[in-house]
Amino acid sequence: MSKKSKWGFATKSIHIGNKANKEHGSIAPPIHLTSTFKQDGVGQNRGHDYSRVSNPTRSRLEENLAALEGSNYAVCYSSGMAATTALFQLFDKDDHILVSRNTYGGTYRMAMNVLSRQGIDFEWIDTRDPQNIKKRIKENTKLVHVESPTNPLLELCDIEETAKICKSKNVLLSVDNTFMSPYGQRPLEIGADIAMQSSTKSLSGHSDILGGVLTTNNDELHERLQFMLKATGGVPSPFDNWITLRSTKTLALRYQKASDNALELASWLATLTNIHKTIYPGLKSHPQHDIATKQQLSPNGDVVYGAMLSIDVGNINARDEFLKKIEIFQLAESLGSVESLVCIPYFMTHAAVPESTKLEMGITESLIRLSIGIEDFSDLRTDLADALS
Ligand X SMILES: *Cc1c(COP(=O)(O)O)cnc(C)c1O
**Of 63, 6, 5, 9, whose CA–CA distance to 249 is shortest?**
9
One residue of 80, 152, 182, 234 binding ligand X per CB under 6 A: 80
Indicate whether 88 belongs to the interface with ligand X (CB under 6 A). Answer: no
The C-alpha atoms of residue 44 and residue 374 are separated, in whole angstroms, by 48
Return the H-helix or E-strand segment holding 174. Answer: strand 172-176
Point out the catalytic residue in the list 12, 58, 158, 176. 176
Question: What distance in Å separates the CA atoms of residue 122 and residue 84, rounded to the nearest whole number?
Answer: 14
Q: Is 224 a catalytic residue?
A: no
Closest CB to ligand X among residues 61, 210: 210
Instruction: Please state the φ and ψ torsions of residue 55, each to the nearest 5 degrees.
Output: -150, 140
Using the contact rule CB under 6 A, the part of the chain among 76-84, 137-145, 213-221, 319-327 near ligand X is 76-84
Helix, strand, or coil (residue 113): helix
Report H helices in 144-250.
Answer: 159-169, 181-184, 219-232, 238-247
- Measured from the CB atom, the residue of 200 and 216 that comes closer to ligand X is 200
Number of residues interacting with ligand X: please give it, by CB under 6 A.
15
CA dihedral of residues 59, 211, 244, 176 (deg, nearest 10): -90
Interface with ligand X, residue 182, by CB under 6 A = no
Site for ligand X in 131-150 (CB under 6 A): 147
201 scored as a contact of ligand X (CB under 6 A): yes
The amino acid at residue 191 is G
User: Out of 49, 52, 95, 249, which one is annotated catalytic?
Assistant: 52
Least distance CB 200 / ligand X (angstroms): 4
Contacts of 314 (CB under 8 A, 6+ apart): 274, 275, 276, 366
Q: Measured at CB, which residue is nearest to ligand X?
A: 80
Contact 305, 263 (CB under 8 A): yes
By CB under 6 A, tell whether 210 contacts ligand X.
yes
77 catalytic? Reply is no
95 flagged as catalytic = no
- Give residue 94's region: left, alpha or beta (phi > 0; psi -120 to 50): left
Residue 111 DSSP code? I
φ/ψ (deg, to 5) at 122? -100, 140
Options 55, 71, 79, 366; binder of ligand X; rule CB under 6 A: 79
Catalytic annotation present for 324: no
Least Å from the CB of residue 211 to ligand X: 6
Q: Applying CB under 6 A, which part among 1-9, 18-26, 32-40, 75-83 lies near ligand X?
A: 75-83
Q: Looking only at residues 158 through 177 of this chain, which bind ligand X when binding is defined by CB under 6 A?
A: 176
Q: Is residue 215 at the binding interface for ligand X, with CB under 6 A as the rule?
A: no
Residues of this chain that bind ligand X (CB under 6 A):
79-81, 104, 106, 147, 151, 176, 178-179, 198, 200-201, 210, 212
Active site residues: 52, 104, 176, 201
